[in-house]
Amino acid sequence: MAPIKRAMARAFNGVEGIFEYAFGQRNNPFVWLGALGWYFYWIVAASGVYLYIFFDTGITAAYASVEYMTRDQWYAAGIMRSLHRYASDALVIVVVLHLFREFAFDRLRGRRFFAWLTGVPLLAFIYVCGISGYWLVWDQLAQYIALATSEWLDTLPLFGEPIANNFLDNTALGGRFFTLMVFIHIFGPLFMLLLMWVHVQRHSQARVNPPRGLAAGTLLALLVLSLVYPAVSQPPADLDVIPAELGFDWFYLIAYPLLDVIPGGRLWLYLFAVFAVLAVLPWVPPAKRLPAARVNLDNCNGCTRCFDDCPFGAITMVPRTDGLAYDAQPLVNADNCTSCGICVGSCPTATPFRRAGPLRPGIELPHRTIAELRDEVVDATGRCAGRVRVVVFACDTSATDGLESDDTAIVRLPCAGMLPPSFVDFTLKRGHADGVMIAGCAEGDCHHRLGNGWTADRMARRRDPYLRRRVDTRRLLLSWLPAGAARRRRSAMSRFRATLGGLDDE
């Protein structure tokens, strides 16, 4: 599986580089696919509510009411109809890309399985909601969908009487199924919203809103599309005539042409197989189980920073149990902890300056302790020679190829967010290096969700624990780049070295 993921990640990095160039790192749509999914959902929901005001839910009058909206009220309900259609299509695009991207960047395995597993039924829901929507227009495309879907459903042993009988000809046509579709099209999205909420329950501060610029630009693009190519109906459905030609929606109806070549029963089987394979992917292969963060109560003052910063909601604050004069203490839920170390970076007691007693912060990763990190910084920088010595704190996801040299020490961390700001102070103040580079994932796209954002805020002295004022920030470089961007990081390092050289000459 790893080579497939690597190849896909390379493809994403390539395409995303172009988008980053066009939109900037912050507004790169690939970084916001899940949030765009929410955004398109809200556009579909809002436009849908508006359309419902004018929509006639009777099978005989539905077509005319949609025509009225499209032609007579093209400037309002017509635009809403197009927005409804195009935002639904956009939802499919972003969700499918989101699925592939989370897979490619391996954000689904181990304790992160939850979002993936709840995403799989969401995918099915999107299709059910979209297909039932096409049905409601009751034009020739709806007729095709009604017939194909009912025949396909009849291959399952679910219904006593074949439901395709409802669509044999105009005399057989009843409103029963149509009413069911209206019901599905209204309650399906409501249930989908509930599932979307469940989907992000293991994410604290889930990013469900894209940045304003991206949101405004996307809405504008949809509006322009709606004005230039308004969504229109095909001729009205007539069950006595087989439509000769159909305008098709490949986003929602992609499986339907397969019914011409694969028997319906077998196509169900393939579809279930695809969903079953998707559902087990978080365990293929099982992730290595790293130990969860551990709390050392004797060094914890209950400040709640670890609780605030954990990206996976793995920490809760509970009443104190050790009798010390603090109200609360953190409790780590090992089932949710991804061992990212971000809580360690947020803990004010994780300071390498500590002299009294062993260095044991209030919270830490048992397999990557702060004491070891301090020793590693001292050892690695001790081996550095040259006029301008730089230490690079790099997260496990970031490329550092070509940075290794006699005057550069590289120290790895699970996430850039694990680095307490006091380590930068320690490294510079104690003369272990002349400059510090923190190398992490692209802005807004931290592999562990929030690590690079918190680090940027802590180093900019906007978030606790702050970088101390005495640190000369010209000697600190934050390098947020996509995973494979080794060349760009080397260039950043060259520029940084030149700056540091200049500072030494001052």
Q: Residue 295: name the closest of 244, 241, 349, 332 by CA.
A: 332
CB of 133 to ligand HEM, least distance (A): 15
339 touches, from ligand SF4, ligand HEM, none (C-beta below 5 to 8 Å by class):
ligand SF4
Q: Tokens standing for 110?
A: 């181990």
| Whole-angstrom distance, CA of residue 81 vs CA of residue 66 | 9
| CB-nearer residue toward ligand SF4: 16 or 425 | 425
CB of 450 to ligand HEM, least distance (A): 8
Contact, 425 vs 356, CB < 8 A?
Answer: no
207 touches, from ligand SF4, ligand HEM, none (C-beta below 5 to 8 Å by class):
ligand HEM
| CB-nearer residue toward ligand HEM: 108 or 392 | 108
Q: What share of the chain is helix, strand, coil (3-state, %, to 5)?
A: 55, 10, 35
| CB-nearer residue toward ligand HEM: 234 or 333 | 333
Residue-wise burial string across 273-284, b where 16 or more C-beta atoms lie within 10 A, e elsewhere = eeeeebeebbee
| CB-nearer residue toward ligand SF4: 210 or 352 | 352
| Length of the chain as a residue count | 506
| Whole-angstrom distance, CA of residue 437 vs CA of residue 491 | 13
CB of 425 to ligand SF4, least distance (A): 18
Cα distances (angstroms) measured from residue 142 to each of 44, 127, 238, 496? 19, 15, 10, 61
CB of 456 to ligand HEM, least distance (A): 16
| Whole-angstrom distance, CA of residue 398 vs CA of residue 414 | 10
| CB-nearer residue toward ligand SF4: 341 or 440 | 341
| Whole-angstrom distance, CA of residue 223 vs CA of residue 252 | 21
CB of 488 to ligand HEM, least distance (A): 23
CB of 402 to ligand HEM, least distance (A): 29
| CB-nearer residue toward ligand HEM: 202 or 305 | 202
Interacting residues toward ligand SF4 by CB under 6 A: 292-293, 295, 300-306, 310, 312, 314-315, 330, 332, 337-343, 346-349, 362-363
Q: Tokens standing for 493?
A: 């390092």
Pairing of strands 476-480, 294-295: unpaired
167 touches, from ligand HEM, ligand SF4, none (C-beta below 5 to 8 Å by class):
none
79 touches, from ligand SF4, ligand HEM, none (C-beta below 5 to 8 Å by class):
none
Q: What is the DSSP string of 109-131?
A: SGGGHHHHHHHHHHHHHHHHHHH
| Whole-angstrom distance, CA of residue 496 vs CA of residue 506 | 16
| Whole-angstrom distance, CA of residue 380 vs CA of residue 384 | 7
196 touches, from ligand HEM, ligand SF4, none (C-beta below 5 to 8 Å by class):
ligand HEM
Interacting residues toward ligand HEM by CB under 6 A: 34-35, 37-38, 41, 95, 98-99, 102, 107-108, 112, 115-116, 119-120, 122-123, 126, 196, 199-200, 203, 206-208, 278, 449
CB of 327 to ligand SF4, least distance (A): 10
| CB-nearer residue toward ligand HEM: 37 or 341 | 37
- Nearest position to ligand SF4, beta carbon: 362
| CB-nearer residue toward ligand SF4: 315 or 477 | 315
Rounding to the nearest 10 degrees, give the CA dihedral for residues 442, 448, 453, 454. -150
CB of 166 to ligand HEM, least distance (A): 30
362 touches, from ligand SF4, ligand HEM, none (C-beta below 5 to 8 Å by class):
ligand SF4
CB of 290 to ligand HEM, least distance (A): 15
- The three-state (H, E, C) secondary structure of 235-294, written as one string: CECCCCCCCCCCCCCCCCCCCHHHHHCCCHHHHHHHHHHHHHHHHHHHHCCCCCCCCCCE
| Whole-angstrom distance, CA of residue 108 vs CA of residue 114 | 8
- Nearest position to ligand HEM, beta carbon: 119
373 touches, from ligand SF4, ligand HEM, none (C-beta below 5 to 8 Å by class):
none
199 touches, from ligand SF4, ligand HEM, none (C-beta below 5 to 8 Å by class):
ligand HEM
- Alpha helices by DSSP H, listed for 312-420, are 342-346, 370-382
437 touches, from ligand HEM, ligand SF4, none (C-beta below 5 to 8 Å by class):
none
108 touches, from ligand SF4, ligand HEM, none (C-beta below 5 to 8 Å by class):
ligand HEM
CB of 44 to ligand HEM, least distance (A): 10
340 touches, from ligand HEM, ligand SF4, none (C-beta below 5 to 8 Å by class):
ligand SF4
| Whole-angstrom distance, CA of residue 506 vs CA of residue 131 | 68
DSSP state of 383: T
| CB-nearer residue toward ligand HEM: 110 or 243 | 110
Q: Which sign does the torsion angle of CA 155, 161, 165, 166 carry?
A: negative
| CB-nearer residue toward ligand HEM: 69 or 115 | 115
